[in-house]
A = this chain, B = another copy of it.
Amino acid sequence: MQTLRVELGERAYPIHIGEHLLSDAALVTPHLDLPKVAIVTNTTVAALYLQQLSDALCAQGVEVISIVLEDGERYKVWPTLNRIYDVLLERRCERKTTLIALGGGVIGDLAGFAAATYMRGMPFIQVPTTLLAQVDSSIGGKTGINHPLGKNMIGAFYQPRLVLADTAVLASLPPRELSAGLAEVIKHGLVYDEGFVAWLEQNVEKLLACDARALAHAVRRCCEIKAAVVAEDEREAGVRALLNFGHTFGHAIESGLGYGKWLHGEAVAAGMVMAADLSRRRGLIAQADVDRVIALLKRAKLPVAQPGIAPGRLLELMAVDKKNEGGKLRFILLDRIGAASICAEVPADLLQLALASPPI
């Protein structure tokens, strides 16, 4: 097991990464205020891992309540959140009961927002079970739900007390989920670390084959990057925004298609190609760099073009992006492979071209 820390002063917390951590309740109990937890998960993950985590905690004398939700991005909405509140209240969960998210990004976002808002905040622990959640969404305290007019529009920054990333569970991921996670892995490299991009170019097939050592390395490197970025800029006033590379386009794709048609990572992959293309049109990177991005995403079995949504519709959907300021769209663009910056001055004609002619 390896342990990283997200250095956030009094809200600092550890990330434990390793195999078979799910049944090691001694990693969890020191973070509980009361011997009572509510585990939020979905039907798919519950069938695989709920018993294991629950038994381990019960064996340590912890009372365990479980809340099993439907699986999928389309359930990341108010009625599902309200179901969590209902059970917490019916089962007399208190302000010091701990909420545990056991699942992927949707479960982490939903459960985290429930924890942030139940009785104005209860302790929260992330146990991510997808690659995407382990490398990205479980770290840094972004929580929330979707609104019909935009993804992740309702939410809170709310840090967990602990992230427990059991890399053994990744072996059970469907190939499509694994690829979706790789989109965020690749994003970390493109924005912050060219050396990691080069490593990914050498190891992407190993990752797709669930090679344990390769996965462990990828998870650790992404967690290192994410933890450092979050420690520097918890509330996304600056450098953290760069982690949204590909997401302005990606969120618009998810929203335009209807949540859940594409996985988040798939939409981000197509979004990163559009953002790379826009970076080239702005003269920041060469076509060879765009081609390098596309090639890596293709090898990771990810889509590299958006699914035919009209450019005007995408523009409309991007108008509610959280990064926008003073009515201006803001984009994360690549300065080179391994470095990015935020750009508020994208000429409308370039944007139209990037939206209209995806470079497949």
Report which A residues bind B (CB closer than 8 A): 34, 78, 82, 85-86, 89-90, 92, 94-96, 116-121, 142-144, 147, 149-150, 152-157, 235, 319-320, 322-327
B150 pairs with A89, CB closer than 8 A: yes
A319 pairs with B92, CB closer than 8 A: yes
A154 pairs with B117, CB closer than 8 A: yes
Interface centre among A120, A147, A150, A320 (most CB of B within 10 A): A120
Residue in contact with A154 in the complex, picked from B85, B143, B319, B322, CB distance below 8 Å: B85
B121 pairs with A235, CB closer than 8 A: yes
A119 pairs with B319, CB closer than 8 A: no
A96 pairs with B325, CB closer than 8 A: yes
- The minimal Cβ–Cβ distance linking A316 to chain B, given in whole angstroms, is 11
Q: CB-CB < 8 A to A150: which residues of B?
A: 89
- The minimal Cβ–Cβ distance linking A139 to chain B, given in whole angstroms, is 15
- The minimal Cβ–Cβ distance linking A124 to chain B, given in whole angstroms, is 13
B156 pairs with A117, CB closer than 8 A: yes
Q: CB-CB < 8 A to A322: which residues of B?
A: 94-95, 119-120
* 5 A-B contacts (beta carbon < 8 Å): A90-B149, A92-B320, A94-B326, A117-B156, A119-B322
- The minimal Cβ–Cβ distance linking A287 to chain B, given in whole angstroms, is 34
Interface centre among A86, A95, A144, A157 (most CB of B within 10 A): A95
Question: CA–CA, A264 to B149, complex, Å?
Answer: 34
B153 pairs with A119, CB closer than 8 A: yes
